[in-house]
Amino acid sequence: MIRLASKSLASNEDLSTVTSQVVNEKETHAVHEGNSSIIQLVQAKPTVLVLVLTFVASISGFMFGYDTGYISSALVVIGTDLDNKVLSYGEKQFITSATSLGALIGAIFAGILADLYGRKKVILGSNVLFLWGAAMQTGCHTVWVMIGGRFIMGFGVGIGSLIAPLYISETAPTHFRGRLVVINCLSITGGQLVAYAIGAGVTHLHNGWRLLVGLSLIPPAVQFVMFFFLPDTPRYLISKGKLEEAKSVLARTHSDASPELIEAKVQEMSLTVTSMAGSNPFVQSWNAIKQLHTVPSNFRALVIGCGMQGIQQFTGFNSLMYFSATIFESIGFKDSVAVSIIVAATNFVFTIVAFFIIDKVGRRRILLVGIPGMMISLIVCAIAFHFFGIKFVDGAAVVNHVGISGWGIVIIVSMICFTATYAFSIGNVPWQQSELFQQDVRGVGTAYCTATNWAGSLVISSTFLTMLQKISATGTFSFFAGLCFVSFIFIWFCYPELGGLELEETQQLLTGGFNIKASKELARRRKQAAKLAKSGELA
- In the predicted structure, residue 23 carries a pLDDT above the cut 70: no
**Quick one: pLDDT band at residue 28, thresholds 50, 70, 90?**
very low
Cα–Cα distance for residue pair 248/294, rounded to 1 Å: 36
- β-pair partners for 7: 18
Least trusted range by pLDDT, from 295-304, 318-327, 378-387: 318-327
**Quick one: pLDDT band at residue 539, thresholds 50, 70, 90?**
very low
Backbone angles phi, psi at 3, to 5 degrees: -140, 165
**Quick one: pLDDT band at residue 534, thresholds 50, 70, 90?**
low
- In the predicted structure, residue 259 carries a pLDDT above the cut 90: no
Q: What is the mean pLDDT of residues 235-239?
A: 87
Q: What is the mean pLDDT of residues 198-208?
A: 81
**pLDDT score recorded for residue 420:** 94
Cα–Cα distance for residue pair 498/320, rounded to 1 Å: 30
Q: What is the mean pLDDT of residues 206-233?
A: 91
- β-pair partners for 4: 22
Cα–Cα distance for residue pair 95/462, rounded to 1 Å: 9
User: Model confidence over 311-358: pLDDT tens digits?
Assistant: 999 998 877 766 666 677 666 666 666 677 888 889 899 999 998 888
**pLDDT score recorded for residue 384:** 87
**Quick one: pLDDT band at residue 520, thresholds 50, 70, 90?**
confident
Q: Which is more confident, 234 or 38? A: 234
Q: What is the mean pLDDT of residues 288-293?
A: 89
Cα–Cα distance for residue pair 520/511, rounded to 1 Å: 15
- β-pair partners for 31: 38
**pLDDT score recorded for residue 129:** 95
Domains of the chain by start residue, with CATH:
47-241 (1.20.1250.20), 282-539 (1.20.1250.20)
**pLDDT score recorded for residue 60:** 93
**pLDDT score recorded for residue 511:** 86
**pLDDT score recorded for residue 485:** 97
Q: Which is more confident, 527 or 54? A: 54
Q: Which is more confident, 143 or 36? A: 143
**Quick one: pLDDT band at residue 32, thresholds 50, 70, 90?**
very low
Q: With pLDDT > 70 as the criterion, what percentage of the chain qualifies?
A: 83
Q: Which is more confident, 204 or 365? A: 365
What are the angstrom distances between the C-alpha of 473 and each of 164, 411, 454, 465, 467?
35, 11, 23, 9, 8
Average pLDDT, the chain: 82
Backbone angles phi, psi at 102, to 5 degrees: -60, -40
Q: With pLDDT > 90 as the criterion, what percentage of the chain qualifies?
A: 35
Residue type, position 277, single letter: A
Residue type, position 347, single letter: N
User: Model confidence over 430-459: pLDDT tens digits?
Assistant: 998 988 988 788 888 999 999 999 888 888
Q: What is the mean pLDDT of residues 495-504?
A: 81
**pLDDT score recorded for residue 86:** 86
- In the predicted structure, residue 505 carries a pLDDT above the cut 90: no
* C-alpha dihedral, 343 to 349 to 351 to 354, nearest 10°: -140
- In the predicted structure, residue 33 carries a pLDDT above the cut 70: no
Contacts of 211 (CB under 8 A, 6+ apart): 198, 202, 205
28, 533 contact by CB (below 8 A): yes
Q: Which is more confident, 538 or 400? A: 400
Choose among 485, 450, 490, 502: nearest CA to 157. Answer: 450
DSSP reduced 3-state for 14 = coil
Q: Which is more confident, 241 or 534? A: 241
**pLDDT score recorded for residue 6:** 34
Q: What is the mean pLDDT of residues 183-211?
A: 86
